[in-house]
Amino acid sequence: MNPMNYNRRAFLKAGVALAATPWTNVWAQPIVIGKDPKVQRTLILLELKGGNDGLSTVIPLQDPLYLKFRTNALVEPKDAIRLDPTHGLNPNLKSFARIFNEGNMAIIESVGLPNRVRSHFRATDIWHSANLEKAGAAPGWIASLGDLAWRKRGSEAVVHFGRDPLNAHRSATRSFLAIENPAHFALLGAGPENFEKAKPKGKARRHKLGSGQASALERIREIQDSARHESLRIRAATAGYRTSVVYPKTPLGSNLRDIAALMNIPVGAPPRVLSTTSGGFDTHSRQKNPHDRLMTGLDEALGAFMQDLARTPIGRNAVVLAYSEFGRRVQENGSQGTDHGKGGPSFVFGHNITGGIFGQAPNLADLDDGDVKYSTDFRSLYSTLIEDLFDCDSKRVLGAKIPKLGFLS
State the Cα–Cα distance between residues 366 and 32, nearest whole angstrom: 45
211 binds other proteins (CB under 8 A): yes
CB of 340 to other proteins, least distance (A): 15
Element (H, E) at 44: strand 43-48
30 binds other proteins (CB under 8 A): no
State the Cα–Cα distance between residues 353 and 322, nearest whole angstrom: 14
Contact 112, 360 (CB under 8 A): no
* 19, 245, 269, 392: residue in contact with other proteins (rule CB under 8 A): 245
CB of 216 to other proteins, least distance (A): 5
* 56, 144, 175, 346: residue in contact with other proteins (rule CB under 8 A): 175
Site for other proteins in 252-271 (CB under 8 A): 254, 257, 264-267
CB of 270 to other proteins, least distance (A): 14
* 177, 256, 314, 402: residue in contact with other proteins (rule CB under 8 A): 177
* 231, 307, 324, 376: residue in contact with other proteins (rule CB under 8 A): 231
17 binds other proteins (CB under 8 A): yes
194 binds other proteins (CB under 8 A): yes
187 binds other proteins (CB under 8 A): yes
* 38, 151, 152, 207: residue in contact with other proteins (rule CB under 8 A): 207
The span of 63-71, 165-173, 314-322, 370-378 binding other proteins (CB under 8 A) equals 165-173
3 binds other proteins (CB under 8 A): no
Residue 120 half-sphere exposure toward CB, CA atoms < 13 A:
13
152 binds other proteins (CB under 8 A): no
Total of chain residues touching other proteins, rule CB under 8 A: 95
Site for other proteins in 269-328 (CB under 8 A): 284-285
What residues does 340 pair with on adjacent strands?
328
State the Cα–Cα distance between residues 143 and 152, nearest whole angstrom: 13
227 binds other proteins (CB under 8 A): yes
Q: What distances in angstroms separate CA 95 from CA 108, 129, 353, 374, one per listed residue?
A: 17, 31, 17, 27
137 binds other proteins (CB under 8 A): yes
Sheet holding 58-60, edge to edge: 58-60, 87-89, 81-82
Choice between 86 and 331, CB closer to other proteins: 331
b/e per residue 372-406 (b: at least 16 CB within 10 A): bebebbbbbbbbbbbbbbbebebeebbbeebebbe
What residues does 106 pair with on adjacent strands?
348, 356
Choice between 207 and 365, CB closer to other proteins: 207
Q: 312 Cβ partners below 8 Å, 6+ apart?
A: 26, 27, 29, 31, 263, 264
Dihedral angle, C-alpha 242, 45, 278, 121, nearest 10 °: -160
Site for other proteins in 104-123 (CB under 8 A): 119, 121
The span of 242-250, 350-358, 374-382, 401-409 binding other proteins (CB under 8 A) equals 242-250
State the Cα–Cα distance between residues 64 and 82, nearest whole angstrom: 16
240 binds other proteins (CB under 8 A): yes
Q: Is 88 helix (H, G, I), strand (E, B) or coil?
A: strand
State the Cα–Cα distance between residues 376 and 137, nearest whole angstrom: 24
CB of 296 to other proteins, least distance (A): 20
125 binds other proteins (CB under 8 A): yes
* 22, 31, 62, 195: residue in contact with other proteins (rule CB under 8 A): 195
